[in-house]
Each structure stands twice: as C-alpha cells, then as structure tokens.
Structure 1
C-alpha cells in the first residue's frame, strides 16, 4: 500500500476544514445579527407595552396617536423580523396595535396623505396572516377612494413613496385588480418625472431631491445638489417593497426595476469608508458622520437585491458588510439605538446626531434597522 504524502494529508484536511470554518463563521454572524435585532426590539417593546399610548414629544410640545407613520415604519420592521424569526409575541404585539386603533387610519378613510396610510402596510400583513380581510378594510377603502379620482399629485415629497406606494402593489396582488397598478404608476411617475416641471428624480445621478424646495438651483454648502440619505432611502425601500410582490408581468415592472438598479449603483460612490452614508450624501461637511436611518434603508435595499439575484454579490457584499458593521455599532448594550436622525426633511434637522442622541421619535429608526437586519440575515 502506497504511503500518502504529508502535503496531500494537509490538502485533504484543509479541504474538510475550510468549509466547516466558513459555515461556523456564517452561523455566528447570523446569530449576531438576530441577537442585535432582538435586543433592539425588546428594548422598544418593553418601553412601549401599551401599544395604543399617545406619543408625546416634549421638544415639540405636541402629541400624536400611535398609528402615525413613524410607528407604521416600526411595524414594517417588526413584520420583517417575524419573517426570519417567527414569534407569536410579535404578531400579538402588532395585532394589539391594530385593535387599539380599530384598524383605522389617522384622518379616516378619506385621507389621501401617504403618512396616514403607512399603517395600512402592516394591517395588510396581519390580514393575510390571520386570514381576515376585515383587518385591511379601512386601508383598502382609503386607496379605493383614490382610484375614483384623476388626482395624482399627492406624493409631493419622496418619503411618501415608501409610506403608501407598496400598499397599491399589495392590493393589486391580493385582488387581481390592475387598477391599483395603473394608479400607482401614475402617481409615482408624476412625482418622479413631472412634479414642479421636471420631477424629483435626478435622471443624471439617479438620486432624488426630497421635494420641490430642494430641486436645483438649491445647493448644499459645498455647491453640490442636496441628496438627503434618508429620503433616498425611503424611495429605495419603497421600490424593494413594490418589486417584492409585484408580478413581473404587471405594468411598468421593468421601469421600477431599472430605477431600483440605477439607484443601487449610484449610492455606492457616496458610502463613507466607515460604512455609512452622510445625511447629506454629496456634502460630508454638512452634518457629516454616522447616521443610522439612511444607512439602514440602503442596506435593506442592497441586501434584498443580492438575495433576489438582482444585484451582483461580488459588487455589493463588501458595501453591505461594511454598512451592517456600522449599524451594529449603533446598538447600545440595553438595545437603545444611537445615531438616529429624528424627524425632518433635510440634513440639518434633528441635529446633532450621536451615539447617545435621543431622537424625537425612536420607533421609525428601529423599523429601518429591523428591515436592514432581516435582509442581511438572509445573506
């Protein structure tokens, strides 16, 4: 019998060990991702045990009901967490929230305001989970009223695209009624290409101006256009949430897909070496530094694209990994999230942002974090 050489034995051993080590590291990373999401979410659920409690913000001397858009975004994140780590307590927490508001919308079914309609995304999720269409009757009624009019200029700020557009896509898929798809495109295209004479989408740089007030000739202190990271993150997330359930045969599917892919390529050059995006993407001197929400939304969008095979893993793996490392560093030992820019519409709002900074609303930042973590976990 021939003796096996030492070199060959080493090669055989490495062939066996390397995949095992990689698998072990992958499992460890997934556990770390999940634990960070659970920690942050537990902190919030423990703090807000009464899901119907009025949200009072001392700095603004004002109160809001707990089904406003900020809380709606949180529940989007909670539903995403439940997809990768299903728990009855998550569903019950969301059900209690919906029941506390009788599955209603702020402003009633007559509202056309996208912020008011945001809660409907989770209402629809729960209606499907519980197989009870009554849970989504109010949000459907609200959107159905919009279908009866010719008005398409409601989404006059880009945040609105995330708050409401996915609802049209979901209802189209559930009902089979293409009128939802048609109206969704008309409203998106108006905001994208026609609002204020040219639309909020910069077709040259494939990024968005927050609203008409930030379109050229408006400039940042360094002379560049104002591309607010969270605003662009909202659009990226909206496109993900639309494409995720939109049939490829649906009208304008390829238009949404192209905008998504163009945006994903465009944001790469603005990512800081620290893994984050500055609040002002093209001007790091204007309140530059770590910021969680915009970074989380971009991470969510990029990771989803890789998971779906739409984006090349070779190109996006490092940016995603770097971004997640930054997001992970924002989690306090007790689950509180630092570096969250509070509500606003531009880089200077709710500043300064820091590790110990408490935003005016802490719910939507967590929602963004959970959306990102849920897709990175799948990687």
Structure 2
C-alpha cells in the first residue's frame, strides 16, 4: 500500500546488515553479564503452551470478576493497564488458534463499543494512555473487516494529531512521560499502515523525537520517566532510572518498527536508539536473569521485578528475530530473561513479582500481579518461540481484512405471546409494522449508494 506523502515504495528488507553503523554507541558489542541460565533455546511448543496457559488464566480470572464482582477484584476497562494485556492477546490470536482468547478480545471490544475513556476535557482526549486500547480495535478490524470498528479510534487520533506537531514546540510535551512511547506511537504507526495515510506516522515521529530530546540521557542511554527525574536522586544518591519505564520505551520502539515503512526517513534513528538502549540494558541484567525496579540502585531495590524484565525480554528476542540485534551477543540475555520470568509464575498460572502501577521504582512482592505484566509476558513468549525461525523482514506486512459481507436486515417478526390480550396483540402488530417500515424507508448506504463508501 502506498502511503500518502511518503516517497518511494515500502521496501521489504531485512534490517540485518541493512543499517550501517551510526553515531550511537551500539556499534560496539557490550560486555555480557554473568551467564547462569540455561543456554538452550526453549522448544517452540513449550513456549507457546506457557503463553497460552497464562493468557487463559487471565481471561478466566477476568470472567470470574465480571460474574462475581467484589472488593479487591480487578477487572478490565479501556485504560492502559487493560490495553497492554490486549496488545499481547491480539498478537497471540494472530499467532495461534486460541478461540477462548479471541472470543474474549471480540467481546470486550464490543462491550466498550470500540471507544475510549477520557472523553471529557481536551487534555484527556489527547492522553496517550487512553489511546493504547486502539491496538485491540485495529487488530479486530484486520480480523473482521467491520468498517465501524476503527471509527472511534480514528476520530480520537485525528483530534490529537495537530497537538503532536505544534510549531514552535510548546513548553510542555504532549507525551510528557516515557511510558507514553509504548501507548500511542505504535497505534499511530499502525493506523498509517492500515489507512495508507502518512499523517499519523508523521505526527508520531515529530512528538517522539521531542520526547527523546527532553527525557533521554545520552550518557546513560536511558530515559528519565519524566522531567522530575532528570535531576532527582535516590536516597543512595543514584540517578533514578525506572525499569518498567525503560521497558515501555524499548517495547514501544519494537512495535513501531513492526509497522514503519522500511524507507521511512527517520527509521534508522529508531533502530539506532533501540540498539543503544538494549546494549545498555543488558549490562544491568542481574545473575538471576531479571532486572531490578531501579536499574542503578540495587541496594534500595534488591528484589527482582518482572514487568520491566518481560518487556526487555520481548525487545531482546524481537531484535534478534528481525536482525536488529546481534544474535551471539544478545541471545544469552534473552534466554536468561525468559528463564527468570518463568521462576515467578504463580500457582494460578499468572506472572507474579510485579511492580504495581506507579511512576517510579517501589519494592515488589511475589504475589503481586497485573494485566500489563501478563501482556508483557505474552509478547516476550511469542518472540521467544520464534528464536529458531529464520530472520524475519520488517516491516511486517499489513494483513488484508476480510471483505465485509453485508445483507440488509431481515424483518424480525415478533410472535404474539401465548394468551395475549387484544391490546397486547395490537401493540405487537404495531411494532412489527414499524420494523417493516424501517427496512422499507431507511436509506442504506450499501444498498442505495452504488459507490459506497463515498
């Protein structure tokens, strides 16, 4: 599909060897951490079984919450927490036949009417966290071809675009926190791939690099969570680089690269940033394969943390599978991360030892679980399962949605109830006549407009 305003064709190529060394430090191989995990690549079926087991455990838990609500039971909504889980499940049902998960994805999206929260003040309408659920709606559109699925998302993104590219750049960022780079940019990039209109990816590109300029530490090769943390220090006088914050960024870049055209002008910058960050991150991996909540202050937070680890493992395996990262250098770290994560699967089948929602490092507990960490585990597992496959080209081809099969609604004749009174019979007859009139008189775009859609 040709994108408007983009020059050239979307060339499918492998990034292995296609990106020449840039100015970044990732051009040199980082020193590996101590290898303690097994070095064998896990069996694909075993990995997929583990991923499906966790996804089904979460789906069954969520269904139970819906059927038996109560204090302390966490269900779903359209926020970033739930959205991150559905980022994982959307990819899972694309890779494997898991009808229970697919049905749940479809049911949730329909329940929320393909809409978003934050439909009040403008500051909420442009909130990246509330746009993350768009990934689920995009996946359902590509699965079903239903034309109404994307409309609320497209309306929300169209409202946001002008603010992402304001010139001169305003004092405050639209995406003012690094987590946002996982939430909205992949949705915008994918929207350009689906629609063929480059306005979404172009606006994303402008705001992404504004965030980079303000929050990226070019010495540490890590992102401050937001501008409060640029100068802030821990009690041990360490810079505060939050594990999950870095995970949001590298996982977000991986998802951007899946949909970004191979000849997009700034694509090499995304690849270089991804390589530079991952090169730094593997030096901070601990012997158990996991990372700590505060990457530079192990004394303050000595316990393992799984949500950041899940996103790092996903990024590592993704980079290897797509030729962005050197396999020999990075494979041991991906394996250690995956093996480490699986030490924290709880008896209920869900990933534990998760830092709960927040904006900075805090201590973690083994029994702590969240939907976003489950989403991260699914993403990591799906890439780990492909480590024995050939290197895959990027961008990933956009799936062609099925043709929308349409039939004008049939009249539903409501039968008279047993023992109906004369008044009830008259009302049922009136209602049936009204339904027939709707079909006869209402303009139907797909029937009455030969050039639908106009």
TM tier relative to shorter chain: 0.7 to 0.9
User: Corresponding residue for 1:103?
Assistant: 114
Do structure 1's residue 169 and structure 2's residue 189 form an aligned pair? yes
* Residues 340, 85 of structure 1: alpha-carbon distance in 2 compared, 3 angstrom cutoff: same
**2 CA distance for matches of 1:139 and 1:50?**
29
**2 CA distance for matches of 1:343 and 1:55?**
21
TM-score, L = length of structure 1: 0.84
Question: Which of 145, 148, 158 is matched with 2:178 structurally?
Answer: 158
Do structure 1's residue 85 and structure 2's residue 93 form an aligned pair? no
Please state how far the C-alpha of 1:328 moved relative to its aligned partner: 0.8
Contact 1:210 1:227 in 2 (8 A): yes
Aligned 1:59-78 pairs, distance under 5 A: 66-78=77-89
Gaps of 5+ in 2: 1-39, 388-454
Please state how far the C-alpha of 1:229 moved relative to its aligned partner: 0.6
Question: Which of 134, 150, 155 is matched with 1:141 structurally?
Answer: 155
The C-alpha deviation readout for 1:8-53, integer Å capped at 9, x for no partner, is: xxxxxxxxxxxxxxxxx86x62232222222222221111117978
Please state how far the C-alpha of 1:290 moved relative to its aligned partner: 1.2
User: Corresponding residue for 1:6?
Assistant: none
**2 CA distance for matches of 1:354 and 1:295?**
15
Contact 1:268 1:319 in 2 (8 A): yes
User: Corresponding residue for 1:212?
Assistant: 227
Contact 2:59 2:101 in 1 (8 A): no
User: Corresponding residue for 2:10?
Assistant: none
**2 CA distance for matches of 1:291 and 1:251?**
36
User: Corresponding residue for 2:257?
Assistant: 243
User: Corresponding residue for 1:30?
Assistant: 44
* Residues 88, 73 of structure 1: alpha-carbon distance in 2 compared, 3 angstrom cutoff: same
Structure (1 or 2) with the greater helix fraction: 1
User: Corresponding residue for 2:306?
Assistant: 292
Q: Which has the higher contact order (CA 8 A, sep 6+)?
A: 2
Please state how far the C-alpha of 1:137 moved relative to its aligned partner: 1.2
Contact 2:55 2:101 in 1 (8 A): no
**2 CA distance for matches of 1:262 and 1:55?**
45
**2 CA distance for matches of 1:55 and 1:148?**
41
SS in 2 for 1:225: coil
The C-alpha deviation readout for 1:142-178, integer Å capped at 9, x for no partner, is: 1111223444721100111101111110111122222
Contact 1:71 1:363 in 2 (8 A): yes
Do structure 1's residue 373 and structure 2's residue 381 form an aligned pair? yes
User: Corresponding residue for 1:190?
Assistant: 210
Give me the CA root mean square deviation.
2.2
Q: Which has the larger radius of gyration?
A: 2
SS in 2 for 1:343: coil
TM-score, L = length of structure 2: 0.71
Question: Which of 114, 119, 132 is matched with 2:128 structurally?
Answer: 114
Question: Which of 49, 56, 61 is matched with 1:47 structurally?
Answer: 61
